[in-house]
Structure 1
Amino acid sequence: MLHLLTDPHAWLALVTLSVLEIVLGIDNIVFISVLISRLPKRQAKLARQIGLGLAFIFRVALLLTLTWIMRLTAPVFAILGNEFSWRDLILIAGGLFLLAKGTSEIHAEVEAEYEEEQSSGGSNGFGWVIAQLVAIDLVFSLDSIITAIGLAQDVEIMIAAVMIAMLVMYFAAVPVSAFIQKYPTTKMLALSFLLLIGVALVADGLGFHIPRGYIYFAMAFAGAVEVFNVLALRNRRKRPKTLTRK
């Protein structure tokens, strides 16, 4: 353990893995932000803390069971010459869940069902949100940890990188959630991201890897366009006040 503190390769691996884990955590933040947007403010804060806490617990728990994780990548059956492992099945299930969730949320937004569902929220809504957070946290954690295993050899480095990434996610989740709630159009964009991520997970499970760089570039480009839309909206709101003063 102590020799890692003086090993430059260990520090390089820690920085590289931390950055990668933070990038992979963007998916988690978007999903949590979309889910809690339908909860009252007090419940939303608690759900956010539970969601991020579960994400951290799942990641560390999976890291401590590396032998079991590696077995998940071994083929369990084949269909038409294509081999599938438990990891593939989990990614496919998680991707289909995100596609279904994103589609249902977009439908609710288009049909203006938001206010009705929020007013009838209650404990059942909160419990359902937590259940969904548990399911998707497990999927994101599995994908994140398998990536970490491929980049680093020391469990200590992996755990440290996960802890750094989770701290960044914790502080980033609040402004991201607030931004999505303040500007409703960004929620539709976030839901579109969920559909994109869902397609990528299903494709990975089926053996068609989509480079994450393409996905994150598309998300960053769309996010930048939305920022300009928000700035334009702010300026339009301020303009009548300025004219009135004159």
Structure 2
Amino acid sequence: RRLRQERNVVYYIVKFGMCYLCETEYDDGVKRPTTVVEFVYNEMEGRGLAFSAPTHEKIFRKAIDALAAYYADLETFKADAQAQADKQCEAELEKIDTLGHSPDSLQKAEADVRARLDVAVMKKIADFSTNYLEKRLCSDPDDDVRTTALEMVGERYQLSKIHSQYGSVVGERDRLTTLLPEALDNWVNAIYEEQIKQVQKQLKQVADPDQQQRLLQELQDLFAQRSQIAKLIGERVVNPN
């Protein structure tokens, strides 16, 4: 169970590692945009977590190492996408028939064109970020990393798409502020469950009263910690702003 929950966290790294998740205030007091992989890193550092599967750890480290290149490539992509949008906007504005239109209607038509192209640019940037790490990992020279990444990319979860109350389709990328914290909490919960079983097993093998008391206290602490994390599962949502 622990490995399965751990794998779910790695899945979000592979699929959405460079996607914007939220803003984080760091030690210097400055708020900065935080990607999925950066959020996972911060959570793991804060909770003292580590991946138990070597391949998961390798994927995570490669994702962290790719951040500098991603941010540099992102700026280049943004500039190119905006330049293309500006060129397209200019071409579309030239085609607008000015005859018989009031200044207000022309202004609205121009605003509509710019708004539509701005949305298109934002979508291109979001798609670039979504695909960035996935492409790198799926072509990685490490066989274990590449094979695992390809398996994860090919997976289709039932919850990958849900219908909102308005009838539109909402994908996993749009629900990361809920799905990722939940995956992390489920992973931590599975770790506690495993530790509880280990302590319970030790209790059966120990005859010394002092050791028994120590293990009982440890078991009590683990139950309390698991109870706290169980309350968070499904309730913790990251504020993207």
Task: Give me the TM-score of the superposition, normalised by structure 1.
Answer: 0.27
Pick the structure with greater CA Rg: 2
Specify which structure has the higher proportion of helix. Answer: 1
Higher relative contact order (CA 8 A, sep 6+): 1
Task: Give me the TM-score of the superposition, normalised by structure 2.
Answer: 0.27
